[in-house]
Chain A
Amino acid sequence: MIRAGIRSIIIAASLAAALAGCDVIEGDGIVGQTLTSYRASRQNKGLDLRKSITPAAVEATGEPVIFVEVPNREAQAFLGLRGRNGPNDTWLTNDNISISYNDGVIVATRGLGSDVMTVDVSEVLPAIRGRRSEAMRVNRYLNGEGHIVPEVYFCDYARTPGVVADTALGPRSSTKIVEVCQGRERTFENIYWYAPGGKPLMSRQWISETNQYALTEFLNN
């Protein structure tokens, strides 16, 4: 029922926008598997959505699509682009879980539970681009009382050009960036692979203690 929610909003928005004569981000029918259905199907059939990724399948979706896996939650999904705000893109699963990226770096998740609410990437993005070698990163979370709690990390970066990235669509030439972040409570290590043109190819990025890492494949890049 709620699953129909965002779709109907976007349909409603299209209607209203059509009247007003402006554009909205439209779309429907992401490759039809969701986080929740995957949880069930993995137990039953050992299905791995990653195996269904082929250039033809990506082509057939007819819209931008990414693939995300959160191993600690035993979850996989394809996500469609549903929001654009400046450099931040918000991608959504069929069952309405969203992840937002700024130039390939996760800046928010919603609907996973223990979501990262915001990430201050003002130093992280230049570091990823090789313009600085260390950065302060602030991830913000909600605590059990609904208060925003910042977690501050100090991160070091190592760039290695000319690495072959083993993506779901096959090997790709890439620049690999390893980001090691130390905070008061923990240390995590994010890994990013960018195509020579600068577009993100894939990554492994820390979300939160409960969720641990998210693996992303930018299938159209």
Chain B
Amino acid sequence: MAAVAMSSALPDTGAADPVTWARPTLSFMGVPGVIDMPSAHQMEEGDLSFAFNSIGSDIQRITLAFQFTPRFSGVFRYGRIYNFFDNDAGFYDRSFDLRYMLAEEGQFAPAVTVGLQDIGGTGIYASEYLVAAKTFGRLRATAGMGWGRLGSYDGFSNPLGVFGNYFKTRPGQTGGINQTGRLDAGSWFRGDAAVFGGLEYRYSNKLSFSAEYSSDAYSQEQSRIDFKHRSPLNFAVNYRLSDDFDVRAAYLYGSEVGIQLSYVFNAKRPLKYEGGLDNAPVPVRVRPAGSARDLGWTLQPEARSTYEKAIDAALTAEGFTFEALKLEPHVAYLRFRMGSTFYTAQAVGRISRIMTQVLPDSIDKFVIVPVSFWGQPASQVVINRSDIEELEFAPDGAWETFARAQIRDIFQSDVDLQFPTNTFPSFDWGVSPYLSMAFFDPDNPLRVDFGIQASARYEPSEGVVLFGQLQAKLLGNQSDLPPSNSEIQHVRSDYNLYAQQGEVAMTELTAAKYFRPGENIYGRVTGGYLEPMYAGISGEVLWKPVDSRVAFGAELNYVQQRDYNQRFGLLDYKVATGFLSAYLEGTKGFYYELDVGRYLAGDWGATLSIDRVFDNGIRVGAFATLTDVPFDQFGEGSFDKGIVVDIPFATIFGRSSDQTLNRTIRPVLRDGGAQLDVSGRLFESVRKFHQPGLERDWGRFWR
């Protein structure tokens, strides 16, 4: 009963595709490259790549790279070399690279990239390079010049020496192997240089072959471990298992076999089903002509509670939390929380359609008030009902509704929303697994604790939140972390003691008040057991106009260190800590935050955070803190820094979820530049409800 012939016109995605150079292969340093040498092309903007490899049995590297812009990428690498020291099983090395593409490949001109490899680590991979690559059909040729480690094989006098003797010699590594964390800018592009080059032949879109001449002599490995550099020539084969996975094998330096598995995740395309898999929204109900004049419903005594119940049921069914409804003859005000949903504009779009279904025809205007996770009304979105009716199927309906909607601060509004009796007090609880990770302990680079957490939240009235959370560890090895050797106040580095003694821990028990002191101003006061290591009081004020990309905040905390067992006891250490903060949602998806103030160890300084935030909510960023703690007192790493990866579940699973996968990765966790980790910070909790955040989401209004 084949009613419809399906034979024709189905596109053939078969084998005869032309060869494309869509994504570069990753080198054994985890960056676009030939084999062990870097190349000049870049990954696609938003690519987050992971490369795991092993060279022989003694050298292993894990590299995490992120393409922040089409031309700029940042790299974090964790390397392990066995038997590097006579008295030690292995040497662990953390390194950061930066790569910038100076020129894209043109018809005649090659792609050109400059790279700084290992700018802040121990210096074992420290090198700089300038590399060019040109594609000729299936063949891509790469040639470059390297300094530092990449100038170590068959090097020659630095051609930059023409600019002065400064470039002719490269100073020795700053400090010893444990004296890490400073930018070695003073040695960049100095000392001998050497050339490298390679060819890559793409046999098909899955299979490619590479050969290269390496300028890396592997001197340290030669002298310290059983590594033989017999030849500068390397050969490799690369097989693309799928769009995301590559596997490659190489014969390196005439002596070693290397294997690598790599995975690439693009933050701009996190899911095959773009737009997500959420259910269809409620369709719009269009009012019959003339019905808007009927105000008969206003005379019904039970009208308000009937509509409240209907709206409450409809919102709950879509995962929202209903808070309040106020009906005037021609205007409806609706206050809600996101509940399990993630995208504000999608929420506002769905609620608008629910309102067309449920509310009386005389209501022409919807005023939708999203409330932050912590109970603060964050804005009001004013939408004409007739626009919803008119634009449901309009070809460019998303932007037309955005253009016609008004987004305003809620503070000035004279709306007095009465809460139905079942809104407050509200009670919510949850039980979920948790996974905490500690990175880069030399004895065990990844330590994991796994357990169950239970939380409860009680809101007796508007803006008052009582919150508690318990964690019970089921298994893990974080308690074996080595004891702190920090010379300054141990404000964070006693992590091991907290892990050992806090098998069952009260990670948070707080009472908080969220309030609106004035137009564009948000306030918070939180008291209690604020986080696993500190108890006390925390106050914050934020200035953030609803249409602004700029915000300023001030935070002041007085806290006392908590007992390691994370019950009710406290240790002796007390400190006042606080910051003035400036926030900027910049162009091209870059967010900036600067915090200036006093940190937990009493040190004064500033933290700069730069994040690339995609409009779907995925965030990859980096931060660094400099304080008045001297580098040598700070210890390994010299100052606090790290990277942040935040991936909302909604983006990878395609279904509405308020959960995110959030990891902060620090090369080392020390005591300088440490901030309090209090819940409910204001900027993050309100910004997605303001105009810039809504604008980014608005394509989903009709989703």
Report A's interface with B, CB cutoff 8 A.
Answer: 2, 4-6, 8-10, 12-13, 15-17, 19-25, 50-51, 71, 82-86, 88, 90, 92, 95-98, 100, 102, 107-108, 110-115, 117-120, 122, 138, 140-148, 165-168, 186-189, 191, 202, 204, 210, 212-213, 215, 217
Contact = CB atoms under 8 A, between A and B. Distances in A.
Contact of B297 (A19, A88, A102, A110): A19
B279 A148 contact: no
Contacts of B385: none
Interface string B295-311: 01100101100110111
Contacts of A102: 393
Given A2-B279, A20-B296, A188-B9, A13 B270 contact: no
A217 B303 CA distance: 42
Contact of A111 (B272, B279, B354): B279
Given A19-B306, A146-B616, A9 B354 contact: yes
A170 to B, nearest CB: 10
B284 A83 contact: yes
A12 B275 contact: no
B475 interface: no
B393 A210 contact: no
Q: Indicate the member of B271, B288, B389, B393 with the most A CB atoms within 10 Å.
A: B393
Contact of A215 (B4, B273, B318): B4
Interface size of B as a range:
35 or more
Given A86-B286, A92-B280, A117-B702, A19 B6 contact: no
22 contacts: A9-B314, A9-B358, A10-B357, A12-B313, A13-B357, A22-B288, A23-B288, A83-B285, A92-B283, A98-B280, A110-B280, A110-B703, A111-B280, A113-B276, A114-B274, A115-B275, A118-B397, A143-B269, A146-B343, A148-B699, A166-B3, A204-B6
A88 B279 contact: no
B268 interface: yes
B392 interface: yes
Contacts of B271: 144
Interface in B244-286: 266, 268-286
Contacts of A17: 358
A110 B6 CA distance: 24
Contact of B616 (A112, A144, A167): A144
B306 A111 contact: no
A9 B274 contact: no
Contacts of A144: 266, 268-271, 274, 616, 651
A50 to B, nearest CB: 6
Interface of B: 1-4, 6, 8-11, 266, 268-286, 288, 291, 294, 296-297, 300, 302-303, 306-307, 309-311, 313-314, 317-319, 343, 354, 357-361, 389, 392-399, 614-616, 651, 654, 696-697, 699-700, 702-703
Contacts of A12: 309-311, 313-314, 357-358
Contacts of B392: 85, 88
Contacts of A9: 282, 313-314, 317, 354, 357-358
B306 A85 contact: no
Contacts of B703: 110, 115, 117, 142
Given A20-B296, A120-B395, A145-B616, A83 B283 contact: yes
A196 B281 CA distance: 34
B310 A16 contact: yes
B389 A85 contact: yes
A50 B318 contact: no
A102 B526 CA distance: 55
A189 B277 CA distance: 26
A118 B279 contact: no
B296 A13 contact: no
B278 to A, nearest CB: 7
Contacts of A95: 279
Nearest to B312: A12
Nearest to B10: A212
A85 B386 CA distance: 12
Contacts of A85: 283-284, 286, 389, 392-393
Nearest to B314: A9
A96 B1 contact: no
Contact of B4 (A96, A119, A141, A191): A191
Given A85-B389, A85-B393, A2 B310 contact: no
